């Protein structure tokens, strides 16, 4: 209600001022006509032009004030909305990746994730060490032979995916029988990736958890997946032994899983039928009440992982481009100062070269930096480097490094140019941190960032490489 009222008042004021101005102009013109008609016309025209200019300014700022403001994107209220928002944001990130091969690989993974979300496909993954009965459990869940159930350790050498129908559950359900996690040397990257794809994990054991099994289970739980701890081969133990093993399992996972999430089964009890009803009942209960939420959580997690991979690629390509910009400007600065008769290195005090470098670095990181802002940043950095004594420090470092070449080169100009390039490099590296950190110098401010890169670039190996490059560049 406030905005229409403001508009109405503004219109009335405008009409009132307009009528007053017309009346005033008429009076002015009539008075000046007594002296000379041309004088009246000229002065009236100038006043009208000034009034139109003032009116244009008022209308422009009025439009800025009254125009609808762009609202920030709404905060997702549900996991489903968050998953959708992440997938949309992921598309924008992928479009920024220059490496076609890497981009297409991430696009393919993103399409798989999006398709699973659109189809509301549930993915159940069976994990555990070798010979605990994972394949037998898969067979029992599907009601048909799905793989070799030999007792030889590690019979499932590769992941196997099956489509399975669970009573009272609608939609497609994919069941994955994974290799034994301990058979591939522990929780490797492939196992982590497989766990990340799951909506529901079935972690199968055939006794109490030993140390390695417990560590792997904790790693899986850290991924943030809904997990059931399945005690298989319960038929091989006496009733009191089963109770003892279950009690130990509950004790070990008490802070991480609900009590109902630890179940006992016998997936392949010899000649009798599989006894997996406690597990299927729990799976059905979870999928009924949490099915869509499980899918949304999984899609959110996978999209976040893809987004992280995309950000890493974008960050890498930005660093490469930024390094190229710094490398170019450090030798431009070196050439300019080496060619001048200045007795001291004062490149950072003028900051002329650094100003354009800042503009280009901003473009690399998607930030539009004006010349004025770039000059301010460059001068601020110059003052910081001067206050830290880095100019004299750079001269001292490079003097020592160049002393073996003083007989063969123009020492003064070489030292001056190399120092300019060296300081430009430190400045450029500092600005890389600034732009990659969302135009923020961090808790320690500009001084801490500059000091960090100065210390990094004064290391013997880096400094010697720089000096060799400086000699080759400035000689040519």
Run of H or E residues at 123: strand 122-127
Token look-up 């560049």 returns 473
pTM higher than the cut 0.95: no
Give strand ranges (E) for 307-428: none
40: its two tokens? 């009246």
- Could you name the CATH architecture of 120-275? 3-Layer(aba) Sandwich (3.40)
Question: What are the tokens at 248?
Answer: 């130990």
What pLDDT, on a 0 to 100 scale, did the predictor assign at position 263? 93
Beta bridge partners of 349: none
pLDDT digits (tens, 9 = 90+) for 221-268: 887 788 999 999 998 999 999 999 999 999 999 888 988 999 999 988
Cα(first)–Cα(last) distance of the chain, in Å?
A: 72
pLDDT value at position 43? 74
Provide the 3-class DSSP secondary structure of residue 65: helix
How much is the pLDDT for 293?
A: 82
Rounded Cα distance between 158 and 155, Å, is 9
pLDDT score at 199: 87
Between CA 82 and CA 76 the distance in angstroms is 5
pLDDT given at position 244: 94
> Which residue ranges make up each domain of the chain?
2-66, 120-275, 315-475
Q: What is the pLDDT of residues 5-15, one digit of tens each?
A: 666 676 676 67
Q: Which residues of the chain fall short of a pLDDT of 70?
A: 1-8, 10-11, 13-14, 17-18, 21, 25, 28-29, 32, 54-77, 144-158, 165-171, 179-192, 271, 333, 335-351, 391-417, 460-465, 467-468, 470-476
DSSP 8-state class, residue 266: B
Residue 148, pLDDT score: 43
- Distance CA(458)–CA(453), nearest Å, equals 9
Q: Which strand (E) or helix (H) includes residue 471? A: helix 460-475
């Amino acid at each position: 209600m406030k905005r229409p009222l403001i508009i109405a008042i503004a219109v009335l004021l405008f009409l009132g001022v307009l009528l007053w101005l017309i009346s005033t102009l008429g009076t002015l013109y009539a008075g000046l006509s007594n002296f000379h008609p041309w004088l009246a016309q000229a002065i009236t025209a100038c006043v009208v032009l000034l009034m139109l200019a003032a009116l244009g300014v008022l209308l422009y700022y009025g439009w800025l004030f009254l125009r609808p403001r762009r609202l920030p994107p709404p905060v997702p209220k549900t996991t489903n909305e968050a998953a959708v928002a992440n997938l949309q944001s992921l598309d924008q990130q992928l479009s920024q990746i220059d490496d076609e091969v890497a981009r297409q690989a991430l696009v393919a993974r993103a399409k798989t994730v999006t398709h699973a979300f659109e189809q509301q496909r549930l993915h159940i993954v069976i994990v555990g060490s070798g010979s605990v009965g994972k394949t037998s459990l898969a067979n029992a869940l599907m009601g048909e032979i799905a793989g070799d159930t030999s007792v030889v350790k590690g019979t499932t050498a590769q992941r196997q995916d099956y489509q399975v129908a669970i009573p009272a559950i609608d939609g497609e359900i994919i069941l994955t029988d994974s290799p034994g996690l301990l058979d591939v040397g522990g929780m490797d990257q492939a196992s982590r990736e497989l766990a990340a794809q799951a909506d529901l994990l079935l972690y199968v054991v055939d006794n109490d958890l030993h140390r390695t099994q417990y560590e792997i289970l904790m790693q899986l739980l850290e991924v943030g997946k809904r997990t059931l701890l399945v005690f298989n081969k319960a038929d091989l133990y006496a009733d009191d032994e089963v109770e003892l093993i279950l009690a130990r399992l509950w004790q070990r996972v008490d802070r991480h899983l609900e009590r109902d999430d630890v179940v006992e089964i016998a997936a392949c009890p010899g000649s009798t039928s599989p006894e997996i009803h406690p597990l299927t009942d729990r799976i059905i209960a979870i999928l009924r009440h949490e099915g869509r939420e499980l899918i949304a959580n999984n899609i959110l997690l996978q999209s976040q992982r893809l987004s992280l991979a995309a950000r890493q690629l974008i960050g890498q390509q930005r660093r490469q481009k930024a390094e190229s910009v710094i490398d170019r400007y450090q030798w431009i600065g070196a050439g300019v100062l080496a060619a001048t008769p200045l007795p001291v290195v004062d490149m950072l005090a003028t900051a002329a070269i650094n100003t354009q470098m800042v503009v280009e670095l901003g473009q690399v990181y998607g930030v539009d930096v004006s010349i004025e802002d770039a000059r301010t940043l460059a001068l601020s950095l110059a003052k910081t480097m001067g206050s830290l004594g880095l100019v004299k420090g750079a001269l001292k470092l490079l003097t020592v490094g160049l002393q073996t070449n003083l007989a063969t080169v123009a020492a003064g100009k070489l030292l001056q140019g190399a120092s300019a390039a060296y300081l430009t490099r430190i400045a450029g590296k500092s600005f890389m941190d600034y732009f990659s950190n969302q135009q923020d110098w961090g808790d320690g401010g500009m001084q801490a960032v500059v000091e960090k890169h100065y210390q990094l670039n004064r290391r013997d190996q880096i400094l010697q490489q720089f000096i060799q490059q400086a000699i080759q560049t400035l000689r040519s």
